[in-house]
Amino acid sequence: MGFLLDKCTLRIYNEEILKFCTTFDCGNQDLNDFFANDPLNYSSELLGKTYFYYQIVRGIDNRPVQPNRATKSVSVEYTYQEDLITKEAMLPELEALCERLAERLQRHHLKGRTITVKFKFHDFTIMTRSHSLSALINDKENIIQTVNIILKNAPLEDKKVRLLGVGISNFELAAEKKKDNTPIQLKLF
């Protein structure tokens, strides 16, 4: 396609260019009318779309991002310079991640039911473990308590952990959320 780029130019017709063009008969009345009356509209519409797709296929898209989807999960993670070997070494690191996660959840007024802990090992394999609760949570204490349960049950013997992450998902359904932002009654059992 490089040969086309050398021989072709992209230009938009305007009144100046068209006044030097001579009319011709292509044998079809509709096309004759089009070329005589509509080339400016056609030029701007076709070349505008063509240029748009020319940019898009090259990965250039300057349109603003407008996310319109509901949040499905929120997580925080950290990669360590030195591998963590024991669960006792991981616990304070996980608690710090839980604090960051709780702050983010409260800032965005989100509550979730499922806590997930991510472990990435020195050989870059990944293991995740999740625990779902019956109640919605977004506070540090409940998140830490759930992460402790996950950490206690995680099979980490003889594993060197390079990255830890904590996430929450399974947010309240839109049907459960009241429109006037009043608190909702949680289930007891």
Residue 184 in any domain: the answer is no
- Span 33-39, average pLDDT: 66
Query: What pLDDT is attached to residue 175?
Result: 42
| Model pLDDT for residues 166-175, shown as the tens digit of each residue | 999 999 754 4
What is the number of structural domains in the chain? 2
Query: What pLDDT is attached to residue 74?
Result: 95
Beta bridge partners of 120: 126, 163
Domain of 153?
73-171
pLDDT at 187 over 80: no
CB 2 within 8 A of CB 43: no
The conformation of residue 184, written as its DSSP 8-state character, comes to: P
Query: What pLDDT is attached to residue 174?
Result: 43
Which DSSP helix (H) or strand (E) runs through 79? strand 73-84
Residue 64 in any domain: the answer is no
CB 104 within 8 A of CB 74: yes
Is residue 82 located within the same domain as residue 121?
yes
- Span 118-137, average pLDDT: 95
Backbone φ and ψ for 118, nearest 5 degrees, come out as -110, 130
Residue 43 in any domain: the answer is yes
Average pLDDT score over the chain: 81
Is residue 80 located within the same domain as residue 162?
yes
Residue 133 in any domain: the answer is yes
Name the band, by pLDDT with cuts 50, 70 and 90, for residue 18: low
Query: What pLDDT is attached to residue 57?
Result: 82
Name the band, by pLDDT with cuts 50, 70 and 90, for residue 27: confident
Residue 85 in any domain: the answer is yes
- Span 18-40, average pLDDT: 68
Is residue 43 located within the same domain as residue 129?
no
Name the band, by pLDDT with cuts 50, 70 and 90, for residue 113: very high
Is residue 39 located within the same domain as residue 93?
no
- Span 64-82, average pLDDT: 89
pLDDT at 2 over 90: no
Name the band, by pLDDT with cuts 50, 70 and 90, for residue 31: low
For 12, the token pair is 């938009």
Kindly calculate the radius of gyration of the chain based on its CA atoms and give it in whole angstroms: 30
Q: Which residue has the tokens 């050398």?
A: 6
Beta bridge partners of 74: 168
3-state SS of 16-69 is HHHCCCCCCCCCCHHHHHHHHHCHHHHHHHHHHHHHHHHHHCCCCCCCCCCCCC
More confident residue, 187 or 140: 140
Query: What pLDDT is attached to residue 140?
Result: 95
Is residue 92 located within the same domain as residue 148?
yes
